[in-house]
Amino acid sequence: MIPVVAKAEPADFNANVRARGAKSMRAKGIDPDVPLPSGKKLSPFWRDCLDDLYREYNQTCAYLAVYIERAVGGVTADHFVAKSKLPRRAYEWDNFRLASAIVNARKCDFDDVLDPFVLPPQWFQIELVSGRIYPNPGINPVDIDRVDETIKRVGLDNDINRKMRATHFQDYCAGDISENFLRRHSPLVHFEAQRQGLL
């Protein structure tokens, strides 16, 4: 993960998402300030701002820090504060994080994942040859534990993600992709390569 700068909500967001969500909750008898009762479902109006979310956040998963191809259908709006725990936050732009579908599913409604909107820089580091991701050993032990929990919760260090990061770096080193392509498609790998003086 790398820090993500929060973007302002779109001009039509209130009408298209927030107001419709509030109206729907009233119609369904859902109290927006208590956890969602069993059997109740929220109307997924957040999907109506997915194009805006995708554009504003540079088509990049907030957790994996890699480009998501919209064509493959893997783009979702993660609710950082789980909508099941606080329905009111289900329709708030500042609660959305652009996320790949698989990461969103792993995060689910757990609250032990670090927020990329307030993440300090360099808390996550990469061994570029292997793709292994790990906590910055220079941060305090409590924060190391928080980074570890995030890595485990959303599977940042599984074999698939390690291979992906290592391949991105190897492709750059082999001259198969440009630095600009690496920056756009794998910003965490680009950041780490730059931090380590390899660019």
Kindly report the average pLDDT of the chain as a whole number: 96
Q: What total number of domains does the chain contain? A: 2
Looking at the fold, whether 24 and 103 belong to one and the same domain comes out as yes
In a domain, 164, yes or no: yes
Three-state DSSP state, 145 = helix
Query: Rounded distance, CA 56 to CA 8, Å?
Result: 9
- Average pLDDT rounded to a whole number, residues 176-191: 97
Looking at the fold, whether 73 and 141 belong to one and the same domain comes out as no
DSSP class of 146: H
Contact 7, 52 (CB under 8 A): no
Last residue of a domain, one of 107, 140, 172: 107
pLDDT for the residue numbered 73: 75
Show the tokens assigned to 33: 């300030």
Q: Would you say the C-alpha torsion 179, 191, 126, 102 has a positive or negative sign?
A: negative
The CA angle 87-92-95, to the nearest 5 degrees, is 90
Confidence label for 103 from pLDDT (cuts 50, 70 and 90): very high
What would the pLDDT profile of 25-75 be if each residue is shown by its tens digit?
999 999 999 999 999 999 999 999 999 999 999 999 999 999 998 887 789
Confidence label for 107 from pLDDT (cuts 50, 70 and 90): very high
Looking at the fold, whether 101 and 42 belong to one and the same domain comes out as yes
What would the pLDDT profile of 137-171 be if each residue is shown by its tens digit?
999 999 999 999 999 999 999 999 999 999 999 99
Element (H, E) at 160: helix 159-173
Query: Rounded distance, CA 188 to CA 64, Å?
Result: 8
* Residue 181 domain boundaries: 124-195
pTM of the model: 0.93
In a domain, 112, yes or no: no
In a domain, 98, yes or no: yes
Contact 125, 139 (CB under 8 A): no
Looking at the fold, whether 141 and 64 belong to one and the same domain comes out as no
Residues ≥6 apart with Cβ < 8 Å to 57: 4, 7, 98
pLDDT for the residue numbered 29: 96
Looking at the fold, whether 146 and 95 belong to one and the same domain comes out as no
